[in-house]
Amino acid sequence: MKRKNKVLDHKTYIFAYTQGNSLMHKLNPISKIIFLIYLTILTFVIDSLIFLALISLSILILALSSGISLRNLFRKLRFMMIVLIISVILNIFFNAIPSSQETILFYLFDLEFLPIRRLAVYFALKALFIVLTLFSSAIIYSNTTSMKDFVYALISMKIPYKYCFSFMVGIKYIPLIEEEAKTVALAQKARGLGLERANTFKKAYKLVFERLAATLVTILRKSQVTSISMENRCFGISKHRTNLTKVPFKRKDFLFVLLVSLIFLFLLFYAIRILPLPYFPSLFSIYLQLFS
């Protein structure tokens, strides 16, 4: 059996739709949008790092249940994780608002000019969990939702077709740009212009510039073909457009929205401490218990 080319495999694209039979694949796109809105609100309301870590873990479990392996998910998050790790390190060591009254956890390597402050660690880890959760949920949504179904779902909500089509084209160009960039990279590598030859900064800059220029030219050509095709088909000439495909709101969508709404309200009231339940302990209190 021939091995599939990993570079041209659509499952490796960050925001490309892949077919599947999971629950997330079968749900209406609007119900999944409601879930993402609830998730976004919770991530910004919650101030407990342990709570945010549990939500991030639940998103990873949701990715597994949606047919996205952890290997593919981490591969898609690879660049983002590198940026986040560098950001966490910079936030910890170069605190933007240092204060003499701020709690210092310890000194790195026992050096007084390398203090590890409590608030710096807190905000760095909080930003890490927020970005990781939101980016992972966006990947799950794009990998389990066809943009065609999403547009039809928006049309069913009486949103004008022109805006829906423009949004669909903009979203569909994201995996297209990624695909074209990988194709250009393969073409350059076949001509002996791979990354292994970029052993100096000047060569690396030239390689990246040529790759970006080739990708941009390809995308502009495709956009020109799309505009000509729309003009030949008299796009927008009819004010009342009919559609053959419909994406209805089914019973499972109502049940899903009801379930996530109840969970959202419970977690929201718990996060703002309205419910008379014990709250998650802070990492600082756990740190004091372990190292004091």
Does residue 65 surpass a pLDDT of 70?
Answer: yes
What is the reported pLDDT for 261?
95
> Are 217 and 262 in the same domain?
no
Residue 266 lies in a domain: yes
In the chain, beta strands by DSSP E: 104-107, 115-117
Does residue 9 surpass a pLDDT of 70?
Answer: no
Q: Are 13 and 60 in contact (CB under 8 A)?
A: no
Residue 153 lies in a domain: no
Question: Residue 38 — very low, low, confident or very high, per pLDDT cuts 50/70/90?
Answer: very high
> Are 166 and 287 in the same domain?
no
Residue 155 lies in a domain: no
Residue 150 lies in a domain: no
> Are 202 and 254 in the same domain?
no
> Are 139 and 226 in the same domain?
no
pLDDT in tens, 73-85: 888 888 778 888 8
Residue 126 lies in a domain: yes
> Are 131 and 199 in the same domain?
no
What is the reported pLDDT for 58?
92
In Å, the largest CA–CA distance within the chain is 74
Give the range of the structural domain holding residue 274, as residue numbers without chain letter: 1-145+250-292
Count structural domains, the chain. Answer: 2
Distances in whole angstroms, Cα of residue 64 to Cα of each of 23, 57, 72, 150, 209: 11, 11, 10, 22, 37
pLDDT in tens, 104-124: 767 777 677 667 777 777 888
Output 103-108 pairs: Cβ under 8 A, ≥24 positions apart. 103/284, 105/287
Q: Are 131 and 84 in contact (CB under 8 A)?
A: yes
Contacting residues for 99 by C-beta, under 8 A, at least 6 apart = none
Contacting residues for 131 by C-beta, under 8 A, at least 6 apart = 80, 84
